[in-house]
Structure 1
Amino acid sequence: MTTMQQRSNFRTLIVVVVTVFLDYLGISLVIPVAAPLFLSANGFFDVGVSLDYRTLILGLLLGTSPFIQFFTSPILGAFADRIGRKPVLLLSVLATGFGHALTAVGFLTHNLPLLFVSRVLSGAGAGNLSAANSAVADVSDSKEKARNFALIGAAIGLGFIFGPYLGGKLSDPTIAPWFYYDTPLWVAAALSLLNAVFILLAFSETLRTRIRRKVDMFTGVRNILRAFAIKELRVLYLVSFLIGFAYNFFTQFFSVFLVARFHSTSAELGVLFAYIGICTVVAQGFFARVLASYMRPAVIIRWAPLVAGIVLAVFAGIHKEQTVYLLIPLAVVAYGLSPANMTALISDAAGKESQALGFAIPPVISGIVTAVSIAMPLALGAASFFLAWGIFTLFHKDGLLGEFHEV
């Protein structure tokens, strides 16, 4: 590889990293907003609307985007191989931005159907990470791939640190009288537009050989069925799903728990989720790498879900807000060790489309079970962690019994 080609690849890599950072910064700006808006007396719903109905609708809204992503990610991936990475990145970022703008309008006009339409658009555009990863692979040799993909992970982590914090501040009217729940959405939409301009001007197409893969929204479903057809992969896949499933009970409805039990504001939630983002970066960027030098992935998976389940069970019973900050590092580190080690065990055998389904289901279930108790989603998350730990401990054996290839 010539020096000029190396410089070109490095420039493309930086552009992709900045693109991913801006995208996830915009997405995470809205994290601290939804729960206070839907649960507060002067928020989206009238005062007489019950908490059960509020949490149900919020759960359905939170689940809509990842549910749509589950079906659209394979389509975006196929188009990225067929027409190139640049147009897919560009169109998906614009779709996400338009979704943010519609959400802002929906908040201001109290238009619930419009909010669901906006979540569909955001979900359709959320599969652009596969195109970004493909672009990184295009400009990386075998020795550089792991390091370059780590930069993408770092960009996502930084987005989830700064986004919630800024979102909390932008929705706090005590900072500026014109700040409201819709303000972070308008900023997120502006970031998406800025990102689209950046891609248009700075990104050079990386796809050299076009591949005409079949465009099919049910690819993710077929890959799940194919994965479960292999006995040992079935166990790993189920454990991976349960771990992600459990953690999403924590992350996606934790804000509802905090608002209902501690009356947390959007500004306070922004600080808390920024704290979670920092803990996640430390867990995956430091602890996972250090422990990998001393423990095999299977050993880590044998105890990490158990610890995470215990912490979530304790979360469900706490009544002091200070305890939240003390327990979060334990929960995040215990979970943060799982994804990389599960990936190592599966060896990239199973497709990633299914991850979106793991994000889609928990908020819907959480919205229903909060009618029983506001802490019930955390209890279900703990139960899912315990189930993952039990299945892995009882049924996992080293080595895969077969090979799996995405369709």
Structure 2
Amino acid sequence: MKNALLIAAACLLALFSTIGASLPYPILPPLFASGVSNNLNHFLGLPPKLLFGIALTINPLGLMIGSALLGPLSDRFGRRPVLLATALGAAAGHALTALALIVESYPLFIFARFFTGLLEGNGSVARAMLADRLDGHLRLRAFSWFNGAFYMGWLAGPLLAGLTLRWGITTPFWVAVGALVLMAALVAAVLPREAASGATTSWWHVARKNHSLNLLRYAELRILFVVQLAYTCGVTAFYEYYPLWLVETAHYGAQGIAWITAVLCGLMTFTSLVFAGRRSALAPLRRAAWNAFGVAAAVALVAAGNTAIGLAAIVLFGIPNAFYNAIMPGWCSERFGAYGQGAVMGLLSTIFCLANIMMALAGSVLTLVDTRLVLLLGAMLSAWAGWRLLAWRVSVAAPAPMAN
């Protein structure tokens, strides 16, 4: 029962945190691409698509910094206090985002999204908590369920936005505020207190000296960084730009984006909860590689296919992505756990956020020519990651070196 409550709390934290991060996905494309002028999409006279790309970039920038710092901070000061502080802080960030939309202030909107992202980079802390307290097949299953909640959040956020926009553009953000406050109460009630390690050390010292990117001193973790970055560039190109593709190609509005997202969300969550955490005779990196190829194929079909093929590919994308993201965190936890579970999970989250930033920036330029170009670029990067994983699996048969 104790493990079940722990897993449930981690999954709900992942769900509500990532719902908040993904709320703007169906709101922003119509706001910036509909042709209706307002103070948000004509800030300083810049092209609306460029402003759209910046708006997509700033939240992942905060997530990247938060992911790099929060995992190591929780290694030192404890998972529970870090999770409590970040949940309440993210709620405040969503309230500020709603205010920015009311007053139509693009600078305030950008600041609010950055601040919220900084505090929502706490997924690495929740993953590290699961890695600390679970092992073996239960850890693999817990990571799979956690990923299911994580992906549901990234994709249910747009669904929530689409379904609540009828009550005003700020309504989704106020819903996120309430959900995160409830989440903080759940964390306080369910998560056990733990002894902090080295609590006399200042948080600033830990942030400077023990952030997740320090792991790049080790050669094998540098390989992981490059491969995972390539894969997640394909994933984030898809997440960030399939809503814009739906607006331009299928002529969908916010509610249409929300409904197609709901189908994708349901399939990916079902796959994560039911199938992705099962044992397999195939080596983990081999399984990850084939699922990376599957993701690349789905993203390429969105870009290259007609409307019907693209819609089907959007939905089917969820299957290989769910499998890949059940496999890699568990494998990394087993192989690199000696470096600190918070730091390792923080590195994975940091990579995902960096990919968001890179593809948002690339897309802000490529979409000026054609939205399909950024999707094709993402497909090629994920395909390269699959090829590199097949080559890498041969060299990882030996145990990973211990951290100094």
Tell me, in whole angstroms, the C-alpha distance in 1 between the residues paired with 2:54 and 2:362.
9
- Please list the CA deviations of residues 185-209 of structure 1 after superposition, one character each: whole Å capped at 9, or x if unmatched: 1221222233334444x24543135
The aligned counterpart of 1:118 is: 112
| Partner in structure 2 of residue 277 of structure 1 | 265
Instruction: Evaluate the alpha carbon distance shift between residue 390 and residue 149 of structure 1 in structure 2; reply closer, same or farther with a 3 A threshold.
Output: closer
Whether 1:399 and 2:396 are equivalent positions in the alignment is yes
Partner Cα distance (1:83, 1:395) in 2: 35
Structure 1 residue corresponding to 2:370, chosen from 369, 373, 380: 373
1:195 maps to what in 2? 183
One-letter amino acid of the counterpart of residue 305, structure 2? I
**1:325 partner amino acid:** L
Residue in structure 1 matched with residue 126 of structure 2 by the alignment? 132
How many Å separate the matches in 1 of 2:356 and 2:330?
Answer: 21
Counterpart amino acid of 2:297?
A: I
Structure 1 counterpart of 2:287: 300
The equivalent residue for 1:263 is 251
| Aligned residue among 94, 102, 125 for 1:100 | 94
Structure-2 separation of matches of 1:10 and 1:390: 37
Question: Which residue of 1 is the match for residue 303 of structure 2?
Answer: 316
CA contact (8 A) 2:149 2:269 kept: no
Equivalent position of 1:55 in the other structure = 49
What SS does the corresponding residue of 1:75 show, helix, strand or coil?
helix
Change (3 A) 1:336 1:18: closer
Deviations 1:214-255 (A, max 9, x none): 51257233223x24x34xx54444222211111110111211
* More displaced 10-residue stretch of structure 1: 361-370 or 76-85: 76-85
Asked whether the 8 Å contact 2:241–2:371 carries over to 1, the reply is: no
- 1:401/1:51 CA distance change after superposition, 3 Å: farther
Paired with 2:98 and 2:208, the residues of 1 have a C-alpha distance of 28
Q: In structure 2, what is the equivalent of residue 176 of structure 1? A: none
SS at match of 1:42: coil
The one-letter code matched in structure 1 to 2:101 is F
The alignment partner of 1:263 has SS state of: coil
> 1:256 offset after TM fit, Å?
1.4
In the alignment, the residues of structure 1 paired with residue 222 and residue 246 of structure 2 have an alpha-carbon distance, to the nearest angstrom, of 36
Q: Tell me how far 1:183 sits from its aligned partner.
A: 1.7
Tell whether 2:320 aligns with 1:334. yes
Structure 2 CA distance for aligned equivalents of residues 86 and 345 of structure 1: 25
C-alpha contact 2:98 2:174 (8 A) present in aligned 1:
yes
Give, in angstroms, the shift of residue 122 of structure 1. Answer: 1.1
Aligned partner of 2:361 in structure 1 is 364
C-alpha deviation, 1:91, in angstroms? 1.7
What's 1:210 paired with?
197
> What is the percentage of aligned positions where both structures have the same residue?
23
Matched, 1:325 2:319: no
8 Å Cα contact 2:147/2:322 also seen in 1: no
Q: Distance in 2 between matches of 1:138 and 1:236?
A: 21
Alpha-carbon shift at residue 170 of structure 1 (Å): 0.6
Given that residues 20 and 152 in structure 1 are in contact (C-alpha distance below 8 angstroms), is that contact kept between their aligned partners in structure 2?
A: yes
Structure 2 match to 1:220: 212
Tell me the secondary structure at the aligned position of residue 207 of structure 1: coil
Cα 1:162–1:131 shift into 2, 3 Å: same
Cα 1:295–1:147 shift into 2, 3 Å: closer
> Would you say the 8 A contact 1:32–1:164 is kept in 2?
yes
Gaps of 5+ in 2: 337-343
The residue number in structure 2 matching 1:75 is 69
- Aligned pair in 2 of structure 1 residues 288, 148: CA closer, same or farther (>3 Å)? closer
Matched letter for residue 376 of structure 2: A
The structural deviation recorded for 1:287 is 4.7
Tell me the alpha carbon deviations over residues 346-399 of structure 1, each in whole angstroms, 9 at most, x when there is no partner.
544353233321222111211111112121111111221232234345565242
**Aligned match of 1:21:** 15
* Conserved 8 A contact 2:17-2:180: yes
Query: What letter matches 1:362 in structure 2?
Result: M
For the Cα contact (< 8 Å) 1:70–1:220, is it kept in 2? Answer: no
Q: Name the CA distance, whole Å, in 1 between partners of 2:225 and 2:239.
A: 21
Shift of 1:74: 3.7
After superposition, give the CA deviation of every residue in 1:63-86 in whole Å (9 maximum; x if it has no partner).
Answer: 222222222334323432444333
Give the whole-Å Cα distance in 2 for the aligned partners of 1:391 and 1:51.
43
Check conservation: 1:33, 1:266, Cα contact below 8 A: yes
- Cα distance, 1:159 vs structure 2: 3.4
- Whichever residue aligns with residue 114 of structure 1, its letter is L
Query: Structure 2: which amino acid aligns with 1:355?
Result: F
Corresponding position of 1:4:
none
Corresponding pairs, count: 388
Q: Distance in 1 between matches of 2:19 and 2:388?
A: 36
- The SS at the match of 1:80 is helix
State which structure, 1 or 2, has the greater radius of gyration over its C-alpha atoms. Answer: 1
| Change beyond 3 A, Cα 1:198–1:120 | same
1:167 aligns with 2:155: no
Shift of 1:142: 5.8
Give the partner amino acid of 2:193.
T
Q: Label 1:393 to 1:36 Cα distance change in 2 as closer, same or farther (>3 A).
A: same
TM-score normalised according to structure 1 size? 0.82
